[in-house]
Amino acid sequence: MDGRGSYTVSTDIITGVIEIGHDFLKTGQQKKLEKQFPDYALNFKQDGRMVAEPGQSAIIKPKENETKTPAEEGGFVLETSDGSFFVAGGTEGATDYSFPEANQLTVGRRVRVEATGGIAESYPAQGAAKFVEILPDYHPVNAVLSESQAVAKAIQQNTRDFIVIEKVRYEATRSVWILTLNDERMIEIEDR
């Protein structure tokens, strides 16, 4: 484990059972803890998916890289740096995540993030990503750009600190991508 796991410990004050929520303890490790604390009843509960094993990627790639169907789920990778990335919009909140594999993510791409541990409620929020699922890139028939390329262009043209993209749609009759922001502004990107 590379530090991405999280845990919670609480005690049921009526039964005395110690509840341990986790996303990294294997069965052998759980049994070892039970052996170390024989006078206590331990109840282990796995929270979400188990963290990636050493050498295993925490990036979940799509079966198909592109799709002809627009998506509404996930948020957009707005920035990447060594060990962190920023995602906002769509169904994801504006969050800056620490993530060892951030350099393998592409700006503009739609992703779903599974966090581990707490999320600081600053704006943008801050947390650690356990898994990042890359969603298929929407590429309409006859469009030159894909959704991620249009979003990346909008980010490059942006002069603000960051933008939160709520919706992206392709208007084939005008050959233009229309990005609706959370402040109801719209950005148009020509499809070329």
Task: Give the global pTM.
Answer: 0.80
pLDDT reported for residue 66: 96
pLDDT reported for residue 85: 97
| Rounded average pLDDT over 50-66 | 89
SS (HEC) of 108-149: CCEEEEEEEEEEECCCCEEEEEEEEEECCEECCCCCCCCHHH
Q: Residue 143, Cα to own-chain centre: how many angstroms? A: 27
* 2 pLDDT above the threshold of 80: no
Q: Are 45 and 20 in contact (CB under 8 A)?
A: yes
